[in-house]
Structure 1
Amino acid sequence: MAAMDDLRIRAAVAADIDAVLAFWRAAAEGTSISDDPAGVTRLVERDPEALLLAERADGELVGTVIAGFDGWRCHLYRLAVHPEHRRRGIGGALLRAAEERFVRLGGRRADAMVLDRNELGRAAWRAAEYGPEEQWTRWVKPLPA
């Protein structure tokens, strides 16, 4: 069992990309069209502090969150904790680190992308005091490659 004093949160670097993608296959709910080396590389190059990793002292990757800020809104994606390490405060620690980043950048509001079918994720976000905004419906359009 990982204790919180055994946890380190840091920004991902290019050398982490393959491990992050493998981690998401094991720990994240669903996939995205940008879950590939090129997509994660673009993220890390464009905003080197956006992809936060939670690691144990031995270097084991146990959690991730993407904390993106576009200058106006703060967006959270890919909050994931390895199934063997859930319910130990790792997700909360990642969210605190993301929120601290947003405050440093001048962010005033954070939103999270949560799949409707992801009951476990929705429960985790509710526990972190995030909730759905009923007045908004998210519309999406894939962009040409």
Structure 2
Amino acid sequence: VLAFWKVAAEGTSISDDRDGVERLVARDPGALILAESGGELVGTVIAGFDGWRCHLYRLAVHPDRRRRGVASALLTAAEERFVRLGGRRADAMVLENNGTAHHAWGSAGYAREERWRRWVKPLTG
């Protein structure tokens, strides 16, 4: 997954390391949704639910597989997961300067939320 994200995902996250992915899968194995074709990883999304909010991270599709419905299938799987868990609204972390991602998210029915701004504080380092 980490090698895949280096090819298919924009930007990096503080959790983009083996320990971060292992912690995610250990805590919530259903959160990491993978799309495969012929045994090859072609897409990912993290569908995290904390009991209150549904968060989407790391929607990534291999550049050679884009515009073929992979992202739509991943988002459908994530949304179905959220509904099963009792989620009411999904939100996505999208890089501000990733225009390709903005188009993909908009096509999937997501809209930019202008009222909120993310505030962050790294807990390590």
Normalized against structure 1, the TM-score is what? Answer: 0.85
SS in 2 for 1:117: coil
Which structure 1 residue ranges, 5 or more long, are not aligned? 1-19
Residue 100 of structure 2 corresponds to 120
Matched, 1:49 2:8: no
What is the deviation of 1:33? 1.2
Matched, 1:28 2:9: yes
Matches within 5 A, 1:78-93: 78-93=58-73
Aligned residues: 125
What is the deviation of 1:103? 0.3
Residue 106 of structure 1 corresponds to 86
Matched residues in 2 for 1:144 and 1:81: separation? 29
Q: After the TM superposition, list the runs of 4 or more consecutive aligned residues in structure 1 that deviate by more than 3 angstroms.
A: none
Matched residues in 1 for 2:78 and 2:117: separation? 24
1:54 alignment partner AA: A
Residue 72 of structure 1 corresponds to 52
Residue 21 of structure 2 corresponds to 40
Deviations 1:50-97 (A, max 9, x none): 0000001x2100000000000000000000000000000000000000
Matched, 1:130 2:110: yes
Which structure 2 residue ranges, 5 or more long, are not aligned? none
What is the deviation of 1:144? 2.3
Deviations 1:100-125 (A, max 9, x none): 00000000000000000111111100
Matched, 1:139 2:119: yes
C-alpha RMSD of the superposition: 0.7
Matched residues in 2 for 1:94 and 1:116: separation? 21
What is the deviation of 1:133? 0.9
Normalized against structure 2, the TM-score is what? Answer: 0.98
SS in 1 for 2:103: helix
Give 1:94's match in structure 2, choosing from 57, 68, 74.
Answer: 74
SS in 2 for 1:72: coil
